[in-house]
Amino acid sequence: MLRDDQIAVLCDIGQSIAFADNKQGQVDELIREGYVAKDGDLYELTPKAEKILLDRGAGLNEA
């Protein structure tokens, strides 16, 4: 189960907000667990992460 701080990192990534350098370890863990994918220099949520956010009511604003 994801911790609140991990959910916050997922929300930041989903909204294309840069995360602090001290969060890199959490991002790497989320990548290993299949919640985040790295495409070049960009990070994006996987469908697994999007479902978790939707289930938790932490939906992302989409324009």
pLDDT tens, the chain, 63 aa long: 899 999 999 999 988 888 888 999 999 999 999 999 998 989 999 999 999 998 887 655 543
Please enumerate in sequence order all residues whose Cβ is within 8 A of that of 45, keeping only pairs 6 or more positions apart, or say none: 10, 13, 14, 35, 36, 37, 53
Q: What's the burial of 25, exposed, middle or buried (CB within 10 Å: 0-12/13-18/19+)?
A: exposed
- In-domain check, residue 44: yes
What pLDDT is stored for residue 62 in this prediction? Answer: 47
pTM: 0.84
Residue 25 lies in a domain: yes
Question: Within a domain: residue 31?
Answer: yes
Q: Residue 41 carries which DSSP code? A: T
Examine residue 62 and state whether it is found in any structural domain, yes or no: no
Q: Is residue 63 part of a domain?
A: no
**Domain enclosing residue 21, as ranges:** 4-55
Q: What is the pLDDT of residue 19?
A: 81
Number of folded domains in the chain? 1
In a domain, 15, yes or no: yes
